[in-house]
Amino acid sequence: MHKLYEWYKVNGLLKVVVFIIILRLVMTFCGLIAVSRIGVFDNDWNIQKSSQTNSISSTTLDMWSSWDGKWYESISKNGYISTGRPYTVHTNKDIVFFPLLPYLSSLFSFGILPHVLVGLVLSNVASIAIVGLLYALLIKRKVSKKIALLSVWLLFAHPFAFIFGAYYTEALFLMFALATLYSWHTQHKVLTFLFGVLAGLTRPVGVVLCAVGGIQMIQQKFWKQPIKQWLPNGASLTGPLVGYGLFAYYALIKTGTWSAFTEAEAEGWGRVAQIGSIVKNLFLQPFVGFNWFVFALFAWLAILLVVWQRNKIGIDLTIWTLLTLALPLSTSILGMPRYTIVLFSIPLALGFMLIKRPAYIKPLLSLLFIVQVVGFCLWVMGAQFMV
């Protein structure tokens, strides 16, 4: 543990961790003020005075578990309620939420601790791990120390990076995704597989992790290598698929169908996966309203950044980014801003651009962190474009 602390300290990562902790405390304070003194938004964007009379500790837990966090809390406490069709607006919708975070919350609550509190601890511990894992992975990919450290700062400066501290799966997923890729780059096949399974059990986009190693194998012309060399490598990349498959098997037992996840997504949430929806969500939905414009803006910025810097971040990460965006875009553009926070290729691409313009780094980071605090306040106040 001491060696890990020293490694964080020597490489400038300890400053990032301390800053993240302070920033989240500041956001908590500002969120409490916003909810208690300003109020919350209704569906017509009118501000209503909050009627909550909860204690500060209870309100704090509620703030950091808004929106989807309530579903994870329910699954953690009660398990999956869904038993299959019919999937409606009010029933059987919880099967779309992947199980690792809520089940870990339940496990480590020991039947005593609040499940949300345990989930928040898991997310924040994962955030600290992400700092070190991202830096180590980028160094392994022969990125300079300056750009690697800047990429870490930029990852947590994302306007929606407060989600990493919430009762959401993003922090846990990114931790396991980075651990999978780091293990792959260091040729630890068993760890690559195991971390991949955990990533696949955390979020559906985990399956796309296979693309990174798969593209690298193609670039290395694996078919010219002995089968005893490339077959174990390829097998280690199947972890995310196995994780997804395990949840699908659970869904089969629970609901009677392998496809409960996609059925509930379509019938309960109104999100039908179609390739044509990607074009619609990127080119047409932005003109529907302000919310949709914000969602599309984050998707377009992500696409343009990684494509522009594709030669520097690598074709494997570029394709992984585009595929990871394509999956949710095939159903809806809702939630796109927070979906992009797990795409560490974006801060990496931005880091390559900013390193040539060092005078812009501190002002940009300062602005992004301020935007993040404001964004968190809007999020806890119920602003729909922050979902």
pLDDT at 55: 60
Predicted confidence band of residue 380 (pLDDT cuts 50, 70, 90): confident
pLDDT at 203: 94
Predicted confidence band of residue 172 (pLDDT cuts 50, 70, 90): very high
| Four-point Cα dihedral 81, 125, 245, 264, nearest 10 | 40
pLDDT at 57: 61
The answer on pLDDT for 237 being more than 60 is yes
pLDDT tens digits along 65-77? 888 888 899 999 9
pLDDT tens digits along 28-56? 999 999 888 877 766 555 666 765 555 66
d(CA 10, CA 33): 37
Residues 250-255 have a mean pLDDT of 86
Residues 131-155 have a mean pLDDT of 97
Of 244-253, 272-281, 346-355, which has the strongest mean pLDDT? 346-355
The answer on pLDDT for 373 being more than 90 is yes
pLDDT at 295: 87
- The dihedral of CA 274, 176, 202, 283: what is its sign? negative
Predicted confidence band of residue 369 (pLDDT cuts 50, 70, 90): very high
Report the length, in residues, of the chain.
387
The answer on pLDDT for 220 being more than 90 is no
Residues 91-106 have a mean pLDDT of 88
The answer on pLDDT for 324 being more than 60 is yes
- Cα 298-121-132 angle, rounded to 5 deg: 65
Mean pLDDT of the chain: 89
Pick 24 or 293 by higher pLDDT: 24
| Residue 171, Cβ density class (10 Å: 0-12 exposed, 13-18 middle, ≥19 buried) | buried
| Residue 168, Cβ density class (10 Å: 0-12 exposed, 13-18 middle, ≥19 buried) | buried
pLDDT tens digits along 255-303? 888 888 888 887 777 777 788 888 888 888 888 878 788 888 999 999 9
Contacts of 311 by beta carbon, 8 Å cutoff, 6+ apart: none
Which residue type is seen at 313?
A: I
Among 147-161, 224-238, 306-320, 356-370, the range scoring the smallest mean pLDDT is 224-238
The answer on pLDDT for 361 being more than 90 is yes
Contact 339, 302 (CB under 8 A): no
pLDDT at 365: 97
Three-class DSSP labels, the chain: CHHHHHHHHHCCHHHHHHHHHHHHHHHHHHHHHHHHHHCEECCCCCEECCCCCCCHHHHHHHHCCCCHHHHHHHHHHHCCCCCCCCCCCCCCCHHHCCCHHHHHHHHHHCCCCCHHHHHHHHHHHHHHHHHHHHHHHHHHCCCCHHHHHHHHHHHHHCCCHHHHHCCCCHHHHHHHHHHHHHHHHCCCHHHHHHHHHHHHCCCHHHHHHHHHHHHHHHHCCHHHCCHHHHHHHHHHCCHHHHHHHHHHHHHHHHHCCCCHHHHHHHHCCCCCCCHHHHHHHHHCHHHCCHHHHHHHHHHHHHHHHHHHCHHHHCHHHHHHHHHHHHHHHCCCCCCHHHHHHHCCHHHHHHHHHHCCCHHHHHHHHHHHHHHHHHHHHHHHCCCHHHC
